[in-house]
């Protein structure tokens, strides 16, 4: 990968960041349709550099966004997060493998939460109940994202489906990774299959 011009990164870091990943994902066309009202809580933005630092792969992300500060409780435009998530995925893996990186970041987010004091407390209550765990994931989403719609559909005593509507993040990588990480963190042996209806609608089927 060719090195970025340091002057370009300093003068217009967001545009330069988008240029890094644009050839390898549909970030630009997604940003065009995300409404300004779509918001995400800052804890997700803050987590990106933490994941990269722990993986020993922060440099590309820092070249673009070093020095940024995000309040964990404040809501920010989803567009800001999408740009940084894509660059973080590229930093973790490579620009060419940006979707693998996004998957791993969301998978790690679930594991990191599970290791926290709150996460350990919740997992003791939910680890043996996949339905309640899925319901908790839905409740957490409602507290941290303001756009789109998720819902749970029951298909039997050992199968549920999380349905995503108007989900502007990458369902096939971000949502899939988060689902995998959530059940892994709980030690639940589940089979997960994520499918797309289109770029912004899809679902994850969970069977155990």
Map out the domains of the chain as residue ranges: 6-105, 121-207
Question: What pLDDT was estimated at residue 118?
Answer: 47
Pick the closest to residue 131 from 47, 58, 190 (CA basis): 190
| CATH code of the region 121-207 | 3.30.70
Pick the closest to residue 51 from 87, 76, 1, 4 (CA basis): 87
β-pair type (149-156, 145-146): unpaired
Mean pLDDT of 27-33: 98
Q: What distance in Å separates the CA atoms of residue 18 and residue 87, rounded to the nearest whole number? A: 8
pTM score: 0.89
Chain position carrying tokens 């059940």: 183
pLDDT digits (tens, 9 = 90+) for 47-75: 999 999 999 999 999 999 999 999 999 99
């Amino acid at each position: 990968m060719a090195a970025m011009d340091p002057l370009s990164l300093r003068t217009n870091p967001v545009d330069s960041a988008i240029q890094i990943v644009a050839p390898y994902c549909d970030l630009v066309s997604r940003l065009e349709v995300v409404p300004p009202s779509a918001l995400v809580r800052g804890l997700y933005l803050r987590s990106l550099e933490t994941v990269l630092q722990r993986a020993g792969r922060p440099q590309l992300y820092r070249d673009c966004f070093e020095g940024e500060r995000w309040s964990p409780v404040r809501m920010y435009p989803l567009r800001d997060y999408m740009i940084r998530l894509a660059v973080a995925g590229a930093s973790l893996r490579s620009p060419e493998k940006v979707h693998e990186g996004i998957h791993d970041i969301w998978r790690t987010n679930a594991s990191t939460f599970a290791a926290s004091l709150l996460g350990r407390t919740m997992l003791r209550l939910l680890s043996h109940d996949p339905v309640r765990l899925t319901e908790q994931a839905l409740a957490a989403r409602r507290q941290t994202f303001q756009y789109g719609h998720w819902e749970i559909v029951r298909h039997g005593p050992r199968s549920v489906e999380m349905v995503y509507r108007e989900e502007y993040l990458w369902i096939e990588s971000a949502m899939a990774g988060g689902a995998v990480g959530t059940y892994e963190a709980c030690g639940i042996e589940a089979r997960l299959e994520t499918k797309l209806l289109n770029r912004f609608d899809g679902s994850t089927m969970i069977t155990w």
